[in-house]
């Protein structure tokens, strides 16, 4: 059986929100719930709808799986962009060009 992260779901949500610099009320408003309800989610692990889960994941830029279980995506986009920032400007430009080519190729396959 796969092991879940030690941090609770509520703690993960609070941590992700804090990383963004949002207050509880600001983030709650962005995802369409009250600050009180978000407080209950963060502190009491109160369950919420899949609609709210999808909104949270989109706002945080993480997978719903990460919010629920703490398991990282196979491709963690946040880590990818942090790693990209460490590259030289020349290498960043080359990577951007490669990604644009890949995007165009993917559009052609549709």
pLDDT digits (tens, 9 = 90+) for 11-68: 999 999 999 999 999 999 999 999 999 999 999 878 899 999 999 999 998 888 889 8
* pTM for the predicted model, two decimal places: 0.61
- Cα–Cα dist 59/80, whole Å: 17
* pLDDT band with cut points at 50, 70 and 90 for residue 109: low
- Cα–Cα dist 32/9, whole Å: 19
Q: Please give the pLDDT value at position 16.
A: 95
DSSP label of 9: H
Q: Please give the pLDDT value at position 84.
A: 80
């Amino acid at each position: 059986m796969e092991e879940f992260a030690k941090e609770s779901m509520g703690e993960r949500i609070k941590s992700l929100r804090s990383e963004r610099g949002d207050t509880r009320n600001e983030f709650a408003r962005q995802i369409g719930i009250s600050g009180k309800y978000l407080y209950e989610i963060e502190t009491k692990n109160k369950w919420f709808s899949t609609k709210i889960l999808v909104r949270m994941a989109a706002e945080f830029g993480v997978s719903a799986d990460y919010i629920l279980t703490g398991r990282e995506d196979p491709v963690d986009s946040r880590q990818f962009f942090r790693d990209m920032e460490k590259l030289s400007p020349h290498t960043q430009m080359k990577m951007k060009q490669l990604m644009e080519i890949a995007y165009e190729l993917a559009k052609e396959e549709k």
